Each structure stands twice: as structure tokens, then as C-alpha cells.
């Protein structure tokens, strides 16, 4: 693509302003094409999409198209976007806007007060809207070892999960790769995230398992999700509140052009009893971006 959208810059913009979405300049046939009965969803997967991947599609048009293709959520949006979602009877399965974004997160004590203030303000609003999750991040290492990062993140989160428990909203830390996209990010392996969840010890702190990112860092996606008792591998599923997709390599469409076979991954997720959302978070390489999204949803609709 001539100009690659940055997830980091998208999250920064969400944190700074809810008015980040421009008007769409796409043909109306791309935005409003209706679904046929053959594309109605099976109901085993709750489908969502990350809005930042579709910068030329307005939120309003994304909601219209999403409803037509069987989505129940448009996510990584801020509180100010909730009225538009409600207009289309959609939810935001993962609310964004945490101060510091990806790089300046919970692994630094000096960030805890502003992050806690954000959660104190936002959790009741999210709960009132009936939405399940708010995203957070570990932050970058900057020379910090992983043990210290665990201790500091756990200490900070323990100050925040009480309100999340009261309002039945999940605080969710995303697993990201530190190899390609987010150099130096600390929560870059499932085992580290699971250990953090165990230390926090609350059902209201869980992980966002990004399949794209974890394929880059560690692979073995299905076994990580389901576990393998014969091999002594614990299932990560009890610690996961949300999933994201993306094609590897390249973070584009999740079809036959890439190395992951998403139907098998989705079946593994369903077999764990998961009832949350799976969000498409690939950056379309094709001109008809909503056709790419529709294809991705269909691939994951097992």
C-alpha cells in the first residue's frame, strides 16, 4: 500500500479526540451492499471489526455495512462514538482511549495515576452502555526486565480492578509483537500475559489475544488457546477476553495469501466455550475494503 496506516497513531488519535473519523469517499455500492441470506452468520462467533483499519470509511457507513454483513460490534473506539453505535444497535466490544497508548503503559509506576483516573472515569460509562471491555497496554521495556514489569503492572492493576469488578467490565491487556510492529513492547508473549493475570487474581483482568501478533512471536496458536494436557501445556483460554485477527505476513487479508488457516483457529476458540467477540484487525490491501472485511468475517464464521 502506498501509505500504511499506523495502529499506534490510530490509538493516539482516539485517546486525544473522538472525532478521528473522516467522511467516506468510497462509492455507495461499496459501503451499502446488502448481504444475501446465504451470508447470514452461524452464531458460533460474535463478529467485530477494528475501525482504525478503515480510515476512508466513516463510522456511520461502517456501522451500516457492518450490520449488513452480520457484525455486532465496531471497536477500538472512544466513549464519544457510543451514540453512533447505539443508533445501529451495535456495541463497542473493546473500548479504547487509555492514556499513554501502547508504549507508555502500566509497567511504569509514574503512569499508574493517570491510567487509574481514566478507568475511574470510563468504566462506569462503559458499564452503563452495556459494553464488556476496555483495552490497556503493558508499555515498552526500555531496559526493564520482564519480572520487574510483571510486578509493577500487577501492582497498578490491583488498584484498578475493584471498580471493574463492581461494574462488571473487563480491563484487557493486549498481546502485541515486539519483533515487527511494536519494538520493545513488554506484553509480547502469552505466558507473560497469563502470569500477569494470575498475579492480579481478578476475573475482570484478562488478555486480548491478537492472533496476528502471537503468530509472529510464538506461533502454535491452536495449542496455546486450547492447551495440551498430554504435553503439559496449560490452556490460555481462561485468561482471554477477546481475540483479534490479521494475515501473516503483512497484516492484510486473512485468506489463502497468508500462512494462518483461520477456520481451524476459530473452531479451536469455539471449542473452549468462548462467548466473546472476534474482531477483524487486518489492513485491507484491496481497493474494495468492505469486500475484504466481508470475506474475513465469512472465513471466521465457523
Cell 506484553 -> residue: 187
Residue 280: phi, psi to the nearest 5?
-75, 125
Would you state the pLDDT for residue 2? 37
Say how far apart CA 55 and CA 118 lie, in whole Å: 26
| DSSP single-letter state for residue 74 | E
Q: Helix, strand, or coil here: 206?
A: strand
Q: Tell me which residues of the chain have a pLDDT lower than 70.
A: 1-39
- What would be the CATH architecture of the domain defined by 7-300? Alpha-Beta Barrel (3.20)
**Rounded CA gap, 237 and 92, in Å?**
21
Amino acid at each position: 500500500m502506498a501509505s500504511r496506516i499506523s495502529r499506534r497513531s490510530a490509538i493516539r488519535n482516539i485517546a486525544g479526540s473522538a472525532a478521528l473519523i473522516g467522511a467516506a469517499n468510497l462509492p455507495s455500492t461499496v459501503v451499502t451492499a446488502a448481504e444475501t441470506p446465504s451470508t447470514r452468520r452461524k452464531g458460533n462467533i460474535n463478529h467485530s471489526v477494528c475501525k482504525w483499519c478503515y480510515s476512508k470509511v466513516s463510522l456511520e457507513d461502517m456501522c451500516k455495512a457492518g450490520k449488513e454483513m452480520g457484525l455486532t460490534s465496531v471497536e477500538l473506539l472512544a466513549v464519544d462514538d457510543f451514540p453512533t453505535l447505539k443508533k445501529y444497535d451495535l456495541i463497542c466490544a473493546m473500548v479504547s482511549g487509555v492514556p499513554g497508548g501502547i508504549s507508555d503503559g502500566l509497567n511504569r509506576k509514574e503512569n499508574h495515576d493517570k491510567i487509574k483516573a481514566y478507568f475511574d472515569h470510563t468504566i462506569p460509562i462503559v458499564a452503563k452502555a452495556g459494553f464488556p471491555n476496555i483495552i490497556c497496554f503493558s508499555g515498552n521495556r526500555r531496559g526493564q526486565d520482564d519480572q520487574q514489569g510483571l510486578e509493577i503492572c500487577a501492582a497498578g492493576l490491583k488498584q484498578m480492578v475493584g471498580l471493574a469488578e463492581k461494574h462488571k467490565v473487563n480491563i484487557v491487556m493486549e498481546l502485541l509483537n515486539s519483533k515487527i510492529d511494536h519494538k520493545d513492547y513488554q506484553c509480547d508473549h502469552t505466558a507473560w500475559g497469563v502470569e500477569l493475570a494470575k498475579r492480579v487474581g481478578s476475573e475482570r483482568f484478562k488478555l486480548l489475544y491478537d492472533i496476528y501478533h502471537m503468530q509472529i512471536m510464538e506461533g502454535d496458536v491452536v495449542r496455546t488457546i486450547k492447551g495440551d494436557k498430554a504435553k503439559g501445556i496449560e490452556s490460555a483460554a481462561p485468561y482471554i477476553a477477546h481475540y483479534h485477527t490479521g494475515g501473516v505476513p503483512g497484516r492484510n487479508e486473512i485468506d489463502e495469501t497468508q500462512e494462518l488457516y483461520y477456520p481451524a483457529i476459530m473452531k479451536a476458540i469455539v471449542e473452549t466455550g468462548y462467548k466473546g467477540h472476534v474482531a477483524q484487525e487486518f489492513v485491507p490491501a484491496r481497493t474494495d475494503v468492505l469486500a475484504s472485511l466481508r470475506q474475513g468475517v465469512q472465513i471466521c464464521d465457523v
